[in-house]
Amino acid sequence: MAIAERVRERLGEPPVSHRGEAFQELLDEVHARLRALTSARHVAVLLGSGTLANDVVAAQLSLAPGKGLILANGEFGDRLVDHAERWRLAFDVYRVPWGRAFERDALASRLARCPAWVWPRALRNLHRHA
């Protein structure tokens, strides 16, 4: 796998200490950008895997009242169900076969029940069936 030239150049630079002022300035900039992108008051940068990120999301959802909805149409959705079960979240699952798109009407029906949260939030695999 090729590494982009820009990345190779950055890797050749001296490391930035996580205790230094330059790092803190960069982290502050990243926080500001994340807050602007998400309209959130508080954000955090985590160093870890996607599994860590899913555990953090599940932990936050465990604080929310109400029942949620998990969309599962492949490995990622199945992993979210696993995270939700381990965190003992209250949720329903809208599951379709791996790689299939969610049906617009079926999803609309589930969303009309007003789940407290939907995981994942992005609905890119949605299409209308004729």
Together in a domain, 118 and 71: yes
Together in a domain, 33 and 76: no
- Model confidence pLDDT, tens digit, residues 67-104: 999 999 999 999 999 999 999 999 999 999 998 999 99
Together in a domain, 54 and 114: yes
pLDDT of residue 91: 97
Examine residue 26 and state whether it is found in any structural domain, yes or no. Answer: yes
- Tell me the CA distances in angstroms from 23 to 8, 13, 28, 37, 44, one per residue in order: 20, 14, 9, 21, 15
User: Does the bond joining 65 to the residue before it have cis omega, within 30 degrees of 0?
Assistant: no
Together in a domain, 69 and 13: no
For residue 48, the 8-state DSSP code is S
Structure-token pair, residue 39: 């309209």
Together in a domain, 29 and 73: no
- Model confidence pLDDT, tens digit, residues 2-49: 899 999 999 999 998 999 999 999 999 999 999 999 899 999 999 999
Of the candidates 45, 44, 64, which has an alpha carbon nearest to the alpha carbon of residue 115? 64
Together in a domain, 79 and 28: no
Together in a domain, 67 and 96: yes
Together in a domain, 118 and 57: yes
Name residues whose C-beta falls within 8 Å of residue 50's C-beta, 6 or more positions apart in sequence: none
What is the tally of structural domains in the chain? 2
Domain span at residue 26 reads 5-38
Together in a domain, 76 and 109: yes
